[in-house]
Amino acid sequence: MTEVAAVHPEPRTAPDFEQEALKHVWIHSAEWIRLAEERGFRVFERAYGSTLVDVYGREFIDGLSGLWVVNAGHGRKEIAEAMAEQASKLAYVSSANHTTVPTVRLAHELALRLPGDLNRVFFCSGGSEAVESAIKIAKQVQAMRGFPKRYKIIARRGSYHGMTYGAMSLTQSRNEKFFGPFMYGVYYVPSPNRYRNDFGLEGEEGDLMCANYVEQEILYQDPETVAAVIGEPISTSNGVHVPSPKYWQRLREICDKYGVLLIMDEVINGFGRTGKLFAAEHFGVVPDLMTMAKGITSGYAPMGAVAVRDSVFQIFQEQKEVPLGHLLTFGGHAVAAAAALKNLEIFEREGLVQQSAEKGAYLLERLKELLRHPTVGDVRGLGLMCGIELVKSKATKEKWPRNSAFIKALERRMNEKGLLTRVWEIVHVAPPLVVTYEELDRIVTIIDEALTETENEFASEIAE
């Protein structure tokens, strides 16, 4: 342990912050070689609207809203003030047996806005915790209903549901090498994909085949052993494929038929991202459980939640002596709840959900102009949640490997031109809902220019 410096040290330069970050901060998903040798990270100092400003004073458009989080935009002083006011009155009480005024208010406001009879809210600290909580609720409810063998969870190929152990067990991209074996009883089914449908079908027909496959898997596993089916309404990790409403309606029918609980994971989709407050509204379906996080506070405080239908909570009202075998220290934190309440107020005052629908339609049309590029195979999305699929060949739909030199060069050029977003085999475009039309045009221009320059560099690897 080194000698402790003053709590308020001397002013630091931008390179000082970078060096201290390399020395002490574990940046979660970055490769060390990119951090240390390529400076594949930035230290940010402030932000406003859709703009991030680093310690050098360089400005970037936040093309991913952090990680689909900052829906109401950066620099909202009134959210900060609401948090400070609540912290000065009451910051924390135990979530095991008590709650707080802002937490009660938030649960009430959410119940008014959630689809159908999703009326009971279990609060937690983020999306992974929300999924963990939903899994445990589903399994306990099935056992309390008299079905103790219903422990299996059916998820979808290409899914992402978080990085805590249970949530990672549902995530197909989980790292078997380092973390296996995972939670027992997880099985995967095809996910809607109109660009590369697993059954060679097109449009709604392909979506429905994916839904019917869920029924086949339930029958194969034995319905008496299946607790729940989980999926994002629109899966971002699987490429932002927007299914037909009939897909989700068919899943609802299948789950009802076999007594299986349906979990919709709205951690990314929720709070205006798709042009509705919740993506489930696009499909006319009410799930049994709905997870949410990210946009619930627009990133101003960590918070997540699971909402359940009256029919799910009913078993706890009938068996009053049996509590949920689950709790989280910071669930329903008073300051986070205050942030969420102010966030909802801003959403409604400024019509951010409608803004997402209108700006998203504009963005999608602008992005479709990029289909003229030889490496752009498809463009799709809903609201301010769009994806550009990159290919080596439009004829074969061959993907660029996620860690290929082409992908890395494209991401570097986009960053240098002032746009930060996720560039894998999919370029994700999901700016804050307050993004301006001028910024949307700038996003498209940057991607266009970066694609042209990168395609020229790698021309020999691109099929005509």
Q: Using one digit for the tens of pLDDT, what is the confidence trace for 63-91?
A: 999 999 999 999 999 999 999 999 999 99
pLDDT in tens, 109-125: 999 999 999 999 999 99
What pLDDT band is residue 9 in, cutting at 50, 70 and 90?
A: low
Q: What is the pTM of this model?
A: 0.95
Angle at 240 between CA 154 and CA 372, to 5 degrees: 145
d(CA 255, CA 251): 6
d(CA 176, CA 394): 32
pLDDT in tens, 34-64: 666 666 688 899 999 999 999 999 999 999 9
Return the structure tokens found at 458. Answer: 């790698």
| Sheet order of strands, 118-124 included | 118-124, 304-309, 289-292, 261-265, 226-231, 152-156, 186-189
Contacts of 305 (CB under 8 A, 6+ apart): 110, 121, 122, 123, 124, 130, 291, 292, 293, 296
Return the structure tokens found at 394. Answer: 């439009």
Burial of 7 (0-12, 13-18, 19+ CB in 10 A): exposed
| Ordered DSSP codes for 188-228 | EE----SSS-TTS--HHHHHHHHHHHHHHHHHHH-GGGEEE
Note the pLDDT of residue 177: 76
Note the pLDDT of residue 39: 61
- At residue 463, the 3 state secondary structure works out as coil
CB 198 within 8 A of CB 190: yes
List domains and CATH numbers for the chain: 42-75+352-461 (3.90.1150.10), 77-350 (3.40.640.10)
Place of tokens 């509705």: 276
Mean pLDDT of the chain: 94
d(CA 83, CA 88): 9
Note the pLDDT of residue 3: 64
**What long-range pairs does 269-272 form, CB within 8 A, spacing at least 24?**
269/232, 269/233, 269/234, 269/236, 269/385, 270/294, 270/295, 270/296, 271/71, 271/295, 271/296, 271/298, 271/343, 271/347, 272/71, 272/347, 272/352, 272/353, 272/355, 272/356, 272/383, 272/384, 272/433
d(CA 64, CA 70): 9
Beta bridge partners of 429: 386
Rounded mean pLDDT, 172-192: 86
What pLDDT band is residue 207 in, cutting at 50, 70 and 90?
A: very high
Helices 203-221 and 245-258: crossing angle, nearest 10°? 20
Note the pLDDT of residue 6: 61
Note the pLDDT of residue 20: 85
Produce one character per residue of 296-333: b if its CB has 16 or more CB atoms within 10 Å, e if not. Answer: bbbbbbbbbbbbbbeebbebbeeeeeeeeeeebebbbb
Beta bridge partners of 123: 305
Is the pLDDT at 190 greater than 70? The verdict is yes
More reliable by pLDDT, 402 or 387: 387
What pLDDT band is residue 423 in, cutting at 50, 70 and 90?
A: very high
- At residue 231, the 3 state secondary structure works out as strand
Place of tokens 């990133």: 299
Return the structure tokens found at 201. Answer: 């079908």
Is the pLDDT at 1 greater than 60? The verdict is no
Distance of CA 83 to the CA centre of its chain: 24
Proportion of the chain above pLDDT 70, given as a percent: 95
d(CA 428, CA 65): 11
Which amino acid, one-letter code, is at 150? R
d(CA 70, CA 346): 13
Is the pLDDT at 426 greater than 80? The verdict is yes
pLDDT in tens, 315-331: 999 999 999 999 999 99
Note the pLDDT of residue 23: 84
**What long-range pairs does 88-91 form, CB within 8 A, spacing at least 24?**
90/334, 91/333, 91/334, 91/335
pLDDT in tens, 129-167: 999 999 999 999 999 999 999 999 999 999 999 998 899
d(CA 73, CA 78): 12
- At residue 422, the 3 state secondary structure works out as coil
Note the pLDDT of residue 42: 87
Beta bridge partners of 306: 122, 291
| Sheet order of strands, 419-420 included | 44-48, 51-54, 59-62, 419-420
What pLDDT band is residue 455 in, cutting at 50, 70 and 90?
A: very high
Proportion of the chain above pLDDT 90, given as a percent: 84
Beta bridge partners of 121: 307
